[in-house]
Structure 1
């Protein structure tokens, strides 16, 4: 990993995301075996699992230990309200057990384990500490502990996303994608025809899972395969440079969009796709794995147009944006402006939607199509 500005922060972030991915894999295997007893619905009906809270706890604890809790401001998705309710005692116990088991493995990644098992109160405090609201000044870590929780509980795609924002600008990002097939063909096979096939052609777990990262003013975006517990891979893991696809003909381009209809208008993106000449069926994929697909050259376009009233949150985009840009791609809102991460928890001032492309030619065509078709849409 390169030296220079933010190199210490990036090194720490990559290690902690690898550790978080190992935790998520274990929890996901357990969910698929025993069912969804440990999945809760939040106030907005979105699901949350022991992995969400556990990852937030370990990231918060490790960053605070390393940089000093007084120096660490974390903007993150989860709070402890659900976890602190009287009927959540079994859930809380599971989180405490998961966090301590995970932290015991921290030395595998060159990270410090606590001297003793953390108490329930210490784990709740670590989760609660992630209560920053970001803003235009200062340094803020931005964490989505399990992005795509619905994909996670279904055994599908999800991501662990950690970014660093300084004075309103994203300066580094790390995306852990534990279920991402390392072969492009496997990814396309799984998501063609907009209906994910859960039975993957690659049964060997070594063929999936990676951590992708980038930082400002560094040479490109990098990918490491996940370290697997059953294989004695030494840390540090080997990294390879990734870059966006060179395809700029819409007829050959692959287009990704969210699975969930409540925060993405599929009919509008279908109309846009048709008007710019996209022939492929969209790949409907959970989580920020869509950003990873663009950065790795596995797809060329990701479009998201949320319905009126939906507000995009910075933790759903920060890590993905800097990684795609470092890999050579373009990310803007539908008006062609950069996304603004300086205004707190939400991407305020967003013009209609988000457009992510592998290059400027495709990007300009889609921006043009948005302007041409917007007035006739029902968004």
Structure 2
């Protein structure tokens, strides 16, 4: 790929490869009894205030990505999902995180000590894209789909670079997703070869997929291919293929999502994935090209690390992403995307039809309150 972000792309791909290795080592340690495997205990997992599990991999990957990319781009800002608050209170977990980073990165001096590790993790919690400060901001989701990760199902590592709160670069590692995945892709659709893949994109320069492992320039790795702009070929609802998260999350209105698909005569659920980043990935790969998400409550908002960058993958194959009101997703709104409500993503030529189906469905179900702005 010939783009002005070649250096950033090479650094991010190298970093996400090591991050994927960290995730695999964390799983292997849990498998062999090196860490406790159940969320809520031991050193493999514990539970945050919002009841989502946090693993060794979440902390270790955020620390590694931040330290590595900050060394390469010291003037940039960094935003990540995790806080080190609970890590600071758990010496055994803290020691394990430091050890797995050193082992996977092959650099015992990457962090001075455990306090340095925690400080690096927390440095990603103080900045928001809307704040005065660096024009360029990296956004990380160290493990998207933590619940499925613990079950050894689909998960992703998300790296985005924003410039002026605009997506310019995306690098996503999917350690269990085949680069040749076909619909329907579910959380249990694990790559039988064990290779996994990396998807990456630069705005205006297309989206690509390559094997997870291997060195060299991004576009020189054997097996790398540019993804076709498959969404441009869709001219009617008959060409739509859905990806959703069916009956697994309390945040969305499942019945509305199903009704929208039925109104458009789109098989439902189609691809069915818990994590948002894997959903964006399968849309880039062409296993799906439509997703709708309406939250149950008007004051529920998406989080930036679940979408920034990963959305760009779909946009670079011809997709259009808006909220339920048809507004562009505003990544300057902060860690929570409070300027938007829900998501409607589809090929550009039929996006308006999907959006109208969402509005019609909400009105038919007496949920006009969710259309208020």
Under a length normalisation based on structure 1, what TM-score does the superposition of the two structures give?
0.85
Q: Could you list the per-position Cα deviations for residues 141-180 of structure 1 after superposition, in whole angstroms to 9, with x for gaps in the alignment?
A: 1111111111111111111111111212111111111111
Query: Which residue, 76, 85, 101 being the options, matches 1:72?
Result: 76
Aligned position for 2:129: 134
Query: Which residue, 24, 47, 59 being the options, matches 2:65?
Result: 59
Per the TM alignment, residue 344 of structure 1 is displaced from its structure 2 partner at its CA by 1.4
Per the TM alignment, residue 293 of structure 1 is displaced from its structure 2 partner at its CA by 0.8
Alignment of 1:182-261 (within 5 A): 182-185=179-182, 188=184, 191=186, 196-197=187-188, 200=190, 203-206=192-195, 209-217=196-204, 219-227=205-213, 233-236=214-217, 237-238=221-222, 239-245=224-230, 246-251=233-238, 253-258=240-245, 260-261=248-249
Per the TM alignment, residue 55 of structure 1 is displaced from its structure 2 partner at its CA by 0.3
Closer/same/farther in 2, CA of residues 197 and 215 from structure 1, 3 Å limit: closer
Query: Which residue, 94, 101, 120 being the options, matches 2:114?
Result: 120
CA contact (8 A) 1:257 1:283 kept: yes
Per the TM alignment, residue 234 of structure 1 is displaced from its structure 2 partner at its CA by 4.3
CA contact (8 A) 1:251 1:279 kept: no
Matched, 1:94 2:96: yes
How far apart are the structure 1 equivalents of 2:14 and 2:363?
47
Query: Which residue, 274, 281, 284 being the options, matches 1:295?
Result: 284
How far apart are the structure 1 equivalents of 2:308 and 2:363?
29
Matched, 1:81 2:78: no
Aligned position for 1:149: 146
Q: Could you list the per-position Cα deviations for residues 191-210 of structure 1 after superposition, in whole angstroms to 9, with x for gaps in the alignment?
A: 3xxxx546x5x53313xx11
CA contact (8 A) 1:173 1:214 kept: yes
CA contact (8 A) 1:247 1:300 kept: no
Aligned position for 1:230: none
Query: Which residue, 154, 165, 168 being the options, matches 2:165?
Result: 168
Per the TM alignment, residue 326 of structure 1 is displaced from its structure 2 partner at its CA by 1.4
Aligned position for 1:178: 175
Residue 268 of structure 1 aligns to a residue whose secondary structure is helix
RMSD over aligned Cα atoms? 2.1
Residue 318 of structure 1 aligns to a residue whose secondary structure is coil
CA contact (8 A) 2:162 2:168 kept: yes
Aligned position for 1:10: 9
Residue 323 of structure 1 aligns to a residue whose secondary structure is helix
Matched, 1:356 2:350: no
Per the TM alignment, residue 252 of structure 1 is displaced from its structure 2 partner at its CA by 5.1
Alignment of 1:294-373 (within 5 A): 294-308=283-297, 309-350=299-340, 352-357=341-346, 359-373=347-361
How far apart are the structure 1 equivalents of 2:308 and 2:215?
30
How far apart are the structure 1 equivalents of 2:122 and 2:79?
10
Closer/same/farther in 2, CA of residues 292 and 203 from structure 1, 3 Å limit: closer
How far apart are the structure 1 equivalents of 2:109 and 2:364?
62
Per the TM alignment, residue 2 of structure 1 is displaced from its structure 2 partner at its CA by 2.2
Q: Which runs of 5+ in 2 are unaligned?
A: none
Per the TM alignment, residue 99 of structure 1 is displaced from its structure 2 partner at its CA by 1.0
Residue 28 of structure 1 aligns to a residue whose secondary structure is helix
Q: Which runs of 5+ in 1 are unaligned?
A: 105-112, 228-232
Select between 95-104 and 279-288 the one with higher mean Cα deviation. Answer: 279-288
